Structure 1
Amino acid sequence: MKKKTTLFGIAFISGLLSACGGGGGSSDSPSSVTTPPNVPNDSISPELSDEFVPFKDQPVLDKIRDTINGNTSNDTDYNVALGHMIAEPFGDYPYGRTARLVQIYNLGINSIKYPNVLCAEVTKTDAVKTLKLKDNKDNCVILDKTYRKGSSITQTVNGNTITLTFNNVRYGSNVDFNLKDDYLISGTIIHSKTKDASGASETYKIDQLEFQRVAENSTAPASGAGFNEDSKEYLQVLNYSYSLTDDYGNGSNGSRTLKSQGTIIGQPYLADFRYKFDFNTTTPFTMEEIALNNFEHLPVEGTLKITDHYNQVIEVKQNQPKSLKATVYFNGSEITDLLWSTIIGDKK
């Protein structure tokens, strides 16, 4: 299927999406590759919070792209997905955030906590709260977000676990008055967080969550891996799990462990196709304790494996304990080293 040759934004999540990374700019693809240039500058969301850590290392993307040049089995959508594939899972590391997923989760929690009682209502039944617009309202501004008629958020609390279910919830700030599209969220996020004298843990789990861009007041089209022209941009997270576990140990011999895995389906902005890839921390990323329940910024070990629907594999490995760089492999061949600072930014 022939692809458009205009610029494309890449849909980034983390986990991440985890999911939730970012990307740098790009030059034009070689003529032997029929996919559009890899230009993952534009995010699927109209805004990004401080929880979002962008990945920006274009030379890595260029080296992988150069490696696959001439391989005609990849001349459909592979280049377009490169920035997404590298960045998505790393948006999580190592702060305990899943980038856009955390942002969406917080959107739901805060909207229920601080509803606009003039146009919305929260109903309560035992441990369940549901936010929706009042019957006589077509839209409602809650905090700085505009909700539209028919959208709802349900929050269920069970001990240390909170489940949020979104149904066609519009996502995006009201500040950008030029934005004529809606970003709609549907699906469920399950969040658990515990802490005691022996350690702490935080997890996010998603069976399915989709996030797509449609024309203002349009209905979200059918979900899934099949392309739909009514969706201007699309991101779906499947079978996603993320965990950050702290074991305080005795004295200063504790450890922090990060695991993340899932499936991402993406449709870049104005593209005419969707792509799919799986990711998994085949070796969890482990950080050592410094002192008093504080942990090293760099892992002593860890491997992230990303497999696309052509069964090609990108791996990012921490080969040396606490190294400033991880090593990137493509189909078993070493491509380059990748500074952790380009993945996780300057936050700890």
Structure 2
Amino acid sequence: MYTKEDQQLAEKLLDHSTELESGQNIMLQLIGLNGIGLLRALVEQVRKRDAHPFIKIEDPEMNRVLLEEGDEDFWANQAEVDQLPLMKQMDAFVGIRAAENIYENSGVPKEANNAYSKEFLNPVHFKERVEHTNWVVLRYPSPAFAMNAKMPTEKFRNFYYNACIFDYEKLEQAMKPLEDLLRKTDLIQLKGDGTDIQFSVKGQNWIPCFGKRNIPDGELFSSPIIDSVNGHITYAPSVYQGKPFEYVKLEVEDGIVVDFDSSNNSALEEILDTDEGARRFGEFSFGLNPVIKEPMYDILFDEKIYGSNHLTLGKDYAIASNGNSSNIHWDLVCIGPDVYCDGELIRKGREFVKDELKGLNPDAF
């Protein structure tokens, strides 16, 4: 059995996000049994569209054991024998992250995370899935997820579906003036509490996101010219590789992190030392989902917070590349800085002030 909301979400994932067609192959990956109702709805809807579901159900605790015990040879074999050949035959992919403990992998050693990222995550997901399928990933609501959001369970459930089953067509239209402006922009500056940083985006590609690759969605992203980033930035709470950070502060010179502070400096230093690209930035984005207001330790939601920006450490996306290569991609979110484009204030705190951009403010929805 599954709920009416799960059926509505499944239909949006297949029709809007992956644009699934008759005869196509689609991988449906569920990590954590909490989302089994949505998976059932997806399987039923895939077959109604005369397409072919390939189902991967994974247990988060088993995955943790594999991460802890795996090395480069293990993950290279997993990729070569199992998931990479299958992924190469996929036209579409839906990934449901339904694990209830976001800290499950907090004790996985740095070397083990690096081995997984290098030999499995990068070839299977970043190279094959991201570049060659119509893919979408999402979290699934749970009491544990509600606790991280500091909401009652039922209130969070309603919030979740409001954020996910959203009028993305309206958001798509509202994004266009901002995209047009950014394509003409050279220098972007963020100024706020603990943040004063600038960088060039001259000639970079900009990608509007309105429910095609993430659910919930609502962002407009590119990447900074790799050596142009200078200043300091303070980020909201974040969890990366199962490790919690109440805050992260970075000092940047010519595109490289030269100093840092956080609530967990030993873990932060390990992440920054992953490889050369881990101290550089591979993405810059505007968060634009008017339903999502506060961080909840889940980046698929937090990076979409309205009035936010994320300046991402690590690997770029091929579709908006700046040449940065890394085994990490950490979307760190800065909430509410003033944003200047070539010296002009376009957003004051969390509200756009330029007339043609006011359609992105929450009261417009």
| Same fold at TM > 0.5 | no
Task: Identify, as 1 or 2, the structure richer in strand.
Answer: 1
Task: Identify, as 1 or 2, the structure richer in helix.
Answer: 2
